[in-house]
Amino acid sequence: MTVYDIVLFVHITSVIVMFAGVTADWLAVGGLRSTRDAGAAHAWIRTLEISAAFGPSARFAVLGAGLYLAVDAWSWPGWIIVGLISWVAFVILGEPLTGRELREMAAGVRAEHGTLPPALIARMHLPRMWQAVVTRVGLGIGVVFVMAVKPPVAVAGMAVVLGALAGYSAARLTSRPGRAGIHPRAQAR
């Protein structure tokens, strides 16, 4: 077994953990959007907190191991550059875009018991949070394709862009009033 083999294992395992975090985020944000009960909301907030505990470490392990693998091979084919740019987009769609809103929403949920107030319910239905999470899922699927197939740069770029657009489109379709537990009055607030 070589160092390359170990780093490749770390890279792939970190990708799996990173996707587990995105899956937890997806389920939790979807769950928050469909509940009006503080008890259920507390459980979904806890899911987000667990994801936040291991997600950043996994993302940095993916980056570090991926860079090591690229440098070790002395090769920077286009699909690696697309993967690196996608990693940056993946990170931006997380904490920088929605982190503050999620923390503030979590604090509001923790302070409640019983039925959640309409203002907090409306906050849990912010389309940007849902769109960021589902776009990350689509982007991630595109990146997995790129990692598995290692296509030329144009195909790699198209795969991640199409994945992200598919995720964003799915999020837009499911954030309309009447979908995913959203009522028009709650969304308008």
**Res 104: pLDDT:** 84
By residue range, what is the domain housing residue 73? 3-188
**Res 177: pLDDT:** 52
Domain count, the chain: 1
Q: How far apart (Å, rounded) are the C-alpha atoms in residues 49 and 45?
A: 6
Q: Tens digits of per-residue pLDDT, 104-122? A: 888 888 888 888 999 888 8
Q: Is-contact 65 8, C-beta < 8 A?
A: yes
Percent of the chain whose predicted confidence (pLDDT) is above 90: 56
Q: How far apart (Å, rounded) are the C-alpha atoms in residues 95 and 153?
A: 28
**Res 128: pLDDT:** 87
Kind and range of the H or E run holding 5: helix 3-33
Specify the amino acid at residue 132: A
User: Cβ neighbours of residue 96 under 8 Å, at least 6 residues apart?
Assistant: none
- List the one residue out of 135, 166, 179 whose CA is nearest residue 33: 179
Q: Tens digits of per-residue pLDDT, 68-106? A: 998 887 678 889 999 999 999 988 888 777 778 888 888
User: Cβ neighbours of residue 21 under 8 Å, at least 6 residues apart?
Assistant: 51, 54, 55, 58
Over 90: is that where the pLDDT of 56 sits? no
Q: Tens digits of per-residue pLDDT, 16-37? A: 999 999 999 999 999 999 989 9
Question: Stretch 52-81: mean pLDDT, rounded?
Answer: 88
Lowest-pLDDT choice from 1-15, 32-46, 67-81: 67-81
The DSSP bridge partners found for residue 115 are 37
